[in-house]
Amino acid sequence: MTPKASEGSRELSVQKIKDGTVIDHISAGYALAVLQILGITGREGDILLVAMNMHSKRLDKKDLIKIEGRELTTEEINRIALVAPKATINIIRSFKVHHKQRIKIPDEIEGIVNCANPSCITNNERGITSSFTVTQRNPVTLRCTYCKQITSHNQIIDQLLGKS
């Protein structure tokens, strides 16, 4: 496992994983929100590498996550679009990229975030899952199916990072 020649000395070397998922090109500062979306705490016991504010050719700076022992499902990958629409997903098997998967922002989102309207039925009745139509894709903006209130990208991020 020698580093590739293209990985210059300025690049931070990050340990390879055997089987799992690499999420690359996450906008800088959003890696923790991605982990929150995936429900990954780091206490699962599997190797989890999180690198933030790394140099990138495509973006000014980027975050990167490597998750050992877990191949993300298409649904999980699409959820990542809520906070990192430019991310790229590599499924790793036996240290090699088995396939790359594009993120496709779904038209509808169920759960994950709460409606921004405090008096929305989804925030007040038990057993009603939040439900949204995606009205804007980059950055993602959501409209509640029930009360039509818009939940902004910043509100989504604040919720996922536990600021609200």
Residues in contact with Zn ion by the rule CB under 5 A: 115, 117, 120, 144, 146-147, 149
Give CA–CA dist 14/119, Å, rounded.
Answer: 46
**Minimum separation from the CB atom of position 44 to Zn ion (A):** 32
Q: Which two tokens stand for residue 19?
A: 């089987």
Find out whether 76 and 40 touch, Cβ atoms under 8 Å. no
Nearer to Zn ion (CB atom), residue 88 or residue 149 = 149
Nearest approach in angstroms of CB 118 to Zn ion is: 9
Our CB check for Zn ion shows the closer of 56 and 114 to be 114
Please compute Rg for the chain using Cα positions.
Answer: 17
Q: Which is nearer to Zn ion, 33 or 115 (CB)?
A: 115
Q: How far is the CB of 145 from Zn ion (least distance, A)?
A: 8
Instruction: Mention every residue, 6+ apart, whose C-beta is less than 8 A from residue 125.
Output: none
Shortest Å distance, C-beta 119 to Zn ion: 8
For Zn ion, the closer of residues 22 and 120 by Cβ is 120
Cβ atoms of 156 and 83 closer than 8 Å: yes
